[in-house]
Amino acid sequence: MKVLSVASEVFPLVKTGGLADVAGALPLALAPSGISMRTIVPGYPVVLAKIGTTRQVAELPDLLGRPARLLFAEHAGLELYVIDCAELYDREGGPYVDTEGKDYIDNWQRFAALARAAVDLANGLDPDWAPDLLHGHDWQAGLVPLYLKYSEVGPHTPSVLTIHNIAFQGQFSAQIFPALGLPPAAFAVDGVEYYGDVGYLKGGLRTAWAITTVSPTYAEEILEPQFGMGLEGLIGERVHDLIGIVNGIDDAVWNPATDSQIAATYDAKRLAARAANREALEKRFGLAATDGPIFCVVSRLTWQKGIDLVIDAADEIVRHGGKLAVLGSGDPVLEAGMRAAAERHPGRVAIVFGYDEPLSHLMQAGADAILIPSRFEPCGLTQLYGLRYGCVPVVGRTGGLADTIIDANGAALAAGAATGIQFSPIDRHGFGQALRRAFRLFEDKAAWRRIQKTAMSADVSWQTGAGQYASLYKTLINRVAVP
């Protein structure tokens, strides 16, 4: 079976969040099931610089009005189609925003081009390889099911659209519609029309053969206005075509036994190396060498991630003898709040601003617990790394956090099943209670160690998830075969 994955970012070429990790890991995880997955990505400068040798697959003299070339390359075990179109992708700045953090004004065209080229591949653009099924990610691939629907192969080529975060929807003025090259009929309630605008995610969710999201709980949550961000009605109509599949982690990149950033942590019997990592972490953050628990945060500093709750809790953490180490950047107000907490509590609260992959490994390896009080979290990856490294996750009961962490309540502790602490409601009160439970459990050394060991043996691989994607693809392709 041949599947084309359509992604606006893919690890290790270009990453701004969890989507890149999924797009990078899934093709490798699917290979044992006999699925050949290729990935089409925009040719951002970082992508073109990293891929090395390429083969030109096709000239595209008029890709939504722009001259482009489609290249093929192999990199880090991935088979990639790269759209080389300087007018659309040769920019300073990130994949979506310029150097000042503003969305590129032609993002509608940059990602319509991605979807258009993907569907052209389904229609035979590469004489040597054509996908049986198209799998797009997020609003950037939202037009894939639409272009497919109106193309020659549409009736017998299934499409899957995965929602990694429904908060980002790709909504643009109706004025762009004529330039998309879709028939007028597509500007309708059962197409891309969305409150008089053009909605890429909305159109994709309307027309994809199947919809997935990155955890079963998030799949339920987006049926509700609080999480559905205006699309809950549409999701409700398509609920029978919706499935939640939890992400795995790249267990070669996140392997405490071989992690070169840290002393090896993985020792199922004794967790021996954690002490050395903890010391290294204290030194790196200038924290005092005291006995209380070290809580860490590795995150975008945003309201979604509940960072205001962490700032509010800092004084209490210190009063109870704990310490707090934070790595991240984001909202200036939250950055200032974090900085103020660190200034109030030197040696107890410390923050490193910025993005630092090696340091994020040391934090998972050396901190006692990782705080993830997200208000919503489609899947979340940092709790999975925490499990693997024995850094006990303290998480809000939402989305993928609810699906991957087993709360240390009395029954779970007695059964030896607990892997972390979950709390609800996700507010100051709920979070405060969770922290008090964490302190109590941490004092009971045997109980804490048992949680760490259970956490470290939890399955956080891609195996289950890849199997679920494989069987979804098979179901859809069998549907084509039925007349």
Footprint of ligand ADP on this chain (CB under 6 A)? Answer: 17-18, 298-300, 327-328, 355-357, 360, 379-382
Using the minimum distance from each CB to ligand ADP, give the nearer residue, 243 or 327: 327
Using the minimum distance from each CB to ligand ADP, give the nearer residue, 10 or 381: 381
Least Å distance between CB 370 and ligand ADP? 10
Using the minimum distance from each CB to ligand ADP, give the nearer residue, 109 or 360: 360
- At how many degrees (to 10) do helices 274-285 and 357-366 cross? 130
Name, in order, each residue with C-beta under 8 angstroms of 5's C-beta and a sequence gap of 6 or more. Answer: 23, 26, 27, 37, 38, 39, 40, 135, 136, 137
What is the helix, strand, coil percentage profile of the chain, to 5?
A: 45, 20, 35
Using the minimum distance from each CB to ligand ADP, give the nearer residue, 23 or 64: 23
Using the minimum distance from each CB to ligand ADP, give the nearer residue, 54 or 404: 404
Using the minimum distance from each CB to ligand ADP, give the nearer residue, 1 or 253: 253
- Give the whole-angstrom CA distance, residue 118 versus residue 96: 19
- Give the whole-angstrom CA distance, residue 370 versus residue 277: 15
Name, in order, each residue with C-beta under 8 angstroms of 319's C-beta and a sequence gap of 6 or more. Answer: none
Please name the residue that has the structure tokens 């193309």: 151
Least Å distance between CB 164 and ligand ADP? 7
HEC-encoded secondary structure of 107-163: HHHHHHHHHHHHHHHHCCCCCCCCCCEEEEECHHHCCHHHHHHCCCCHHHCCEEEEE
**Residue 477 near residue 328, CB atoms below 8 Å:** no
Least Å distance between CB 357 and ligand ADP? 5
What does DSSP assign to residue 241? Answer: G
Of 368, 401, 370, the closest CA to residue 265 belongs to: 368
- Give the whole-angstrom CA distance, residue 241 versus residue 255: 35
How many residues in total does the chain contain? Answer: 483
Q: How many CB atoms lie under 10 A from the CB of residue 172?
A: 20
Least Å distance between CB 450 and ligand ADP? 26
What does DSSP assign to residue 352? Answer: E
Least Å distance between CB 168 and ligand ADP? 10
- Give the whole-angstrom CA distance, residue 402 versus residue 142: 27
Beta bridge partners of 259: none
Least Å distance between CB 273 and ligand ADP? 20
Using the minimum distance from each CB to ligand ADP, give the nearer residue, 366 or 380: 380
Least Å distance between CB 355 and ligand ADP? 4
Please name the residue that has the structure tokens 């709790």: 383
Please name the residue that has the structure tokens 């609003």: 139
Of 66, 208, 205, the closest CA to residue 148 belongs to: 208
Using the minimum distance from each CB to ligand ADP, give the nearer residue, 129 or 355: 355
Least Å distance between CB 298 and ligand ADP? 5
Using the minimum distance from each CB to ligand ADP, give the nearer residue, 140 or 360: 360
Least Å distance between CB 247 and ligand ADP? 8
Least Å distance between CB 380 and ligand ADP? 4
Using the minimum distance from each CB to ligand ADP, give the nearer residue, 279 or 356: 356
Using the minimum distance from each CB to ligand ADP, give the nearer residue, 203 or 337: 337
Least Å distance between CB 356 and ligand ADP? 5
Name, in order, each residue with C-beta under 8 angstroms of 440's C-beta and a sequence gap of 6 or more. Answer: none
Residue nearest ligand ADP (C-beta atom): 18
